[in-house]
Structure 1
Amino acid sequence: MYKIVRNSFFLAAALGFASCKNGSIFKKKPEKSDVTGWNYNDKNQGGYYVFKAKDVKTGPGLVFVQGGTFTMGATEEDVMGDWNNVPRRVTVNSFFIDKTEVANVHYREYLHWLNNVFSDPQYEAVVRGAYPDTLVWRSELAYNEPYVEFYFRHPSYNYYPVVGVTWKQAHDFCIWRTDRVNENELVNAGYQNKNVIKQEMNGGGQDNFNSKSYLMGEYEGIPGKPKKNPLLDAQGRPRTKVQFEDGIMFPDYRLPTEAEWEYAALGLILENPKPRKSEKKRGEELVANKQIYSWKNEGYDNLRATKRGTWQGAFLANFKRGNGDYMGTPGGLNDRSAIPAPVTSFFPNGFGLYNMSGNVSEWVADVYRAQTNMEADDMNPYRGNVFSKVDMSGGQGNLRDSIGRIKTVPENDSSLTERRNYQHAYAINYLDGDSLSKVYYGYGVTTLVSDKSRVIKGGSWMDMPYWLSPGARRFVEEDQSSSGLGFRCAMSHFGPTEGTSSKLQNGNFFPKKRQKR
């Protein structure tokens, strides 16, 4: 018995030595480049390290939305006569979007960070410029002063949607959220020391973590010492500076495009069979009989009841039923909310998203034009591009602005003359307000549409049902706000369009067949 144990011990030791020497018990064949034949992840052949392909993780607060084709625009008669949402088939790629609208408590967290990081008086304008306008609740002929004082600050309203926020403020919130999520990811993984957050919150000012500044080497922070570090430099030495291609950091949080928002609001995924396991069925396109609102027509086809169900007669959104009727009568309240309701109230749609119809209208990224639906690309349509580049005028090491973000400037049109896909950096008014279209907007004279007009979607607690349809669209100037207007964030998805599993792939793959010779 002793000999068996002793021999087993020596065998284990020998295997352990082989494991330490070669990196594994059985020497693994190195992955080679298909174009050069050089080894990847080999310091003796250039040290080009390639991490195994993996999908983007779902960021905090987000829900994955599988992309696809849909008919964007009106779902019923255009009773407003706007002709600004003519139906058109488009495709959006997969993306992430917030499960709920951004709530008061989330926005107060943002202000808490700003007040601590930019506590120096020189940043007073930065901090004050982020505060929501609580005066949006006021009206000359209504008593709404309690909402002015308490809606944003009182804990009773913690998880009610933040309102009084301009498009620019919502855009800046998304940048802040990107940085905080990525900073936390690096700290948790050990690539940044946890004390960097304390240093930042103690009046860090310009020297705060910004994702782009970090990736461009303009921000170092306090490097950490990760316990298990797979990151190596060209010489095979461990490195603590993370690169985006390492797959550790998240893409940017941002406002969703109008097409993304509308697609997510329809939540048509429930109508489609699950992929892969049953290829005998194909998902129905659902473009002919499209639902009017963001919830599935469960037992109701918008004309008549088709089967009995618990939802019949229930209000599935927070909206204004009619003039003077915001929540019904005592003992029989309909939507049970006179003002915005908590962000997780009412029933989620097919993607699990709350309040895509009603509660508060929401900012989206797009600049408003009435005819954009017919002009924009049919893949990821969007109006609002201003193509920019990093401002290198200050030289390396001086690329950040006063609040720590990378400075950018619009591309010079003179450098784009040889390009075929675009020739102007400023594309907001492309084919609708520029010399090519021969359309000119006399803002304040003949129209209220300008290059600062941003699309809002979804309808609010103060709107009639027409505006709750995902296809309905209006606009507000990007520097204005309202008591019925909030927002939610989105994030681009990289990887397989069907989901976030590493087992999924883009494209169809078939068994390889041997060719007859």
Structure 2
Amino acid sequence: MNIKKFILLTTVLVLVASCNSGDRGQLVGVKGKKWHPEKPYGMTLVPGGAFIMGKSDDDIAGVQDAPTKTATVRAFYMDETEITNSEYRSFVYWVRDSILRLNLAEMADLEGKTPGSGDIGEFAYLDSNPDDLNAYESYMLNTYGNEQRKINHDADLIFDTDEYPDELYAEVMDNMYLPLEESYNGQRTWDVKQFKFQYTYMDIERAAKDRNLKRSDVIIKEEIEVYPDTTAWIRDFAYSYNEPMHNDYFWHSAYDDYPVVGVSWKQAQAFCQWRTLKHNGFQKSKGKQPINAYRLPSEAEWEYAARGGLQGGTYPWGGPYAKNDRGCFMANFKPLRGDYAADQALYTVEADAYDPNDFNLYNMAGNVSEWVNGSYDPGSYEYSSTINPNVNDPNNARKVVRGGSWKDVAYFLQVSSRDYEYADSARSYIGFRTVQDYMGTEVTKNAATN
């Protein structure tokens, strides 16, 4: 071939390739899906910024536990209220129904039942008919086995005993309840010990500190019982009659909008994982990008949010008093010498009771104390970073709780006060709220006020 013709042909091919790609040969980068920040339902945006964290010098005892330091946190979304009974019940029911569907699918598979027969076969695994699988699903099933089997979430579960489709279905349902000899008042009760949520996560901090670890070494698997410990209402207070709260507080609709309690730190972590899974499932169904994970706030994030932009305030409303100018209490706590009802509440109140702070966050002081994603160490303020400070040692079972509760005196309502409980403990006065990292143009408190 003539050398001039070869050069001309090469030039034409390059031009055609450039025109087809639309970038004219320039470095424009790989574009992802269109994305716009979306405020999660029930959350408010807390703009990032710096604040004075810790106790003032006049609190001699407290300053040993929380010495003053300047800290900066990035922007994040935070639940406007504590997670309510109604919201947590949706988690419990999802876990219950998923386990029930799995048990039904296992029974159908054992008995060789398939959809179309009007019996338990309607709940068979989606791969019970190989012809319904695409190439990827078929490959994953053949390569990895039962771990890739898909539960049928389309068939409606049947809870009315008069409508059970067959005896196999009745047998599976019967095994989800406590035995008859453990029932009373003619009611069968769910065996809540079976309500276990399994999830995996990556311990990124451990992976970053030890580069010799394999990826499989930092993938952590957890299995958590999700039902709240309702007996906490009785165990927390000796020689006290609190059986009505034990019997009704979590499941009765009268308490739907009250904060969930009796939830351990580990259960709160599991809820965050489930909420992320639920939201990302919707995102995937709509062809949208996944959202940032829901999680517990760090101790610094919690205090920054509780202050509501007020530097040096004692309480979320400023202070230094727990009453307003009309003599009304500003939060739900234990005023005076045990006069619990003086603040218009004996136990907890609705999660959106009392006035919110300037970030539109309710009950950051009082009502229930809140788990945060941090381990309690009296000296942690001394060595933690000044940007997004957080100390969470997996070997330290003492986890920080903040905000004070309906049974606490005013001191624990102060935004700088620290307390702790063990990660596997559940209390009638500890709940939680979640946060989500903000993505997009950085929003700071300083920028918001300029």
Asked if these proteins are the same fold (TM beyond 0.5), I'd say yes
Kept in 2, the 8 Å contact 1:64–1:499? The answer is no
CA RMSD in angstroms comes to: 3.0
Aligned-partner Cα distance in 2 for 1:314–1:377? 39
Whether 1:463 aligns to 2:445 is no
Whether 1:130 aligns to 2:235 is no
Could you give the per-residue CA deviations for residues 50-69 of structure 1, whole angstroms, max 9, x where no partner exists? Answer: 456x5532112211000111
Whether 1:37 aligns to 2:30 is no
Counterparts in 2 of 1:39 and 1:143: CA distance versus 1, 3 Å: closer
2:433 to 461, 476, 488: 488
In the other structure, the counterpart of 2:115 is none
In the other structure, the counterpart of 1:379 is 387
Kept in 2, the 8 Å contact 1:455–1:476? The answer is yes
Determine helix, strand or coil for the equivalent of 1:134: coil
Whether 1:118 aligns to 2:99 is yes
Kept in 2, the 8 Å contact 1:76–1:292? The answer is no
In the other structure, the counterpart of 2:332 is 318
Kept in 1, the 8 Å contact 2:322–2:410? The answer is no
Aligned-partner Cα distance in 1 for 2:23–2:326? 59
In the other structure, the counterpart of 1:172 is 270
Counterparts in 2 of 1:178 and 1:311: CA distance versus 1, 3 Å: farther
2:354 to 346, 355, 361: 346
In the other structure, the counterpart of 1:98 is 79
1:141 to 235, 239, 246: 239
2:31 to 18, 27, 49: 49
The aligned length equals 312
Whether 1:153 aligns to 2:261 is no
Counterparts in 2 of 1:149 and 1:265: CA distance versus 1, 3 Å: same
Deviation, structure 1 residue 481: 1.3
Deviation, structure 1 residue 374: 1.2
Deviation, structure 1 residue 473: 0.4
Larger mean CA deviation between 158-167 and 119-128 belongs to 119-128
Deviation, structure 1 residue 496: 2.1
Could you give the per-residue CA deviations for residues 218-269 of structure 1, whole angstroms, max 9, x where no partner exists? Answer: xxxxxxxxxxxxxxxxxxxxxxxx6xxxxx321000000000000000001x
Determine helix, strand or coil for the equivalent of 2:58: coil
Kept in 2, the 8 Å contact 1:361–1:487? The answer is yes
Q: Which one-letter code corresponds to 1:178 in the other structure?
A: T
Q: Which one-letter code corresponds to 2:292 in the other structure?
A: P
Determine helix, strand or coil for the equivalent of 2:231: helix
Deviation, structure 1 residue 113: 0.4
In the other structure, the counterpart of 2:308 is 267
Could you give the per-residue CA deviations for residues 420-459 of structure 1, whole angstroms, max 9, x where no partner exists? Answer: xxxxxxxx28xxxxxxxxxxxxxxxxxxxx7111000000
- Give TM-score, length-normalised by structure 1: 0.56
Deviation, structure 1 residue 30: 5.3
Deviation, structure 1 residue 111: 0.7
Q: Which one-letter code corresponds to 1:183 in the other structure?
A: G
Deviation, structure 1 residue 322: 2.3
In the other structure, the counterpart of 1:293 is 315
Whether 1:476 aligns to 2:421 is yes
Deviation, structure 1 residue 336: 1.1
Deviation, structure 1 residue 129: 1.1
Task: Indicate the percent of aligned positions where both proteins have the same amino acid.
Answer: 34
Aligned-partner Cα distance in 2 for 1:382–1:98? 20
Counterparts in 2 of 1:76 and 1:464: CA distance versus 1, 3 Å: farther
Whether 1:70 aligns to 2:15 is no
Could you give the per-residue CA deviations for residues 158-199 of structure 1, whole angstroms, max 9, x where no partner exists? Answer: 010000000000000001001111212333x2x3xxxxxxxx
In the other structure, the counterpart of 1:258 is 299
Q: Which one-letter code corresponds to 1:353 in the other structure?
A: L
Kept in 2, the 8 Å contact 1:72–1:87? The answer is yes
Aligned-partner Cα distance in 1 for 2:442–2:31? 26
Aligned-partner Cα distance in 1 for 2:351–2:264? 19
Kept in 1, the 8 Å contact 2:84–2:258? The answer is yes
User: Which sections of structure 2, spanning at least 5 residues, go unmatched?
Assistant: 1-18, 107-192, 198-223
- Give TM-score, length-normalised by structure 2: 0.64
Counterparts in 2 of 1:304 and 1:469: CA distance versus 1, 3 Å: closer
Determine helix, strand or coil for the equivalent of 2:370: strand
Determine helix, strand or coil for the equivalent of 1:183: helix
Aligned-partner Cα distance in 1 for 2:238–2:321? 40
Deviation, structure 1 residue 140: 2.9
Counterparts in 2 of 1:318 and 1:51: CA distance versus 1, 3 Å: same
User: Which sections of structure 1, spanning at least 5 residues, go unmatched?
Assistant: 1-26, 41-47, 192-241, 243-247, 272-285, 329-334, 385-427, 430-449, 509-517
Determine helix, strand or coil for the equivalent of 2:78: strand
1:327 to 320, 341, 350: 341
Determine helix, strand or coil for the equivalent of 1:146: helix
> Which structure shows the higher helix fraction?
2
Deviation, structure 1 residue 324: 2.1
Could you give the per-residue CA deviations for residues 141-165 of structure 1, whole angstroms, max 9, x where no partner exists? Answer: 1100111100111111101000000
In the other structure, the counterpart of 1:409 is none
Aligned-partner Cα distance in 2 for 1:76–1:317? 25
Kept in 2, the 8 Å contact 1:67–1:92? The answer is yes
Aligned-partner Cα distance in 2 for 1:296–1:261? 16
Whether 1:452 aligns to 2:397 is yes
Whether 1:107 aligns to 2:88 is yes
Whether 1:184 aligns to 2:165 is no
Aligned-partner Cα distance in 1 for 2:403–2:339? 19
Deviation, structure 1 residue 296: 3.8
Return structure 1 stretches of 4+ with deviation > 6 angstroms. none
Aligned-partner Cα distance in 2 for 1:303–1:100? 23
Aligned-partner Cα distance in 1 for 2:377–2:366? 23
Kept in 2, the 8 Å contact 1:319–1:326? The answer is yes
Aligned-partner Cα distance in 1 for 2:428–2:436? 26
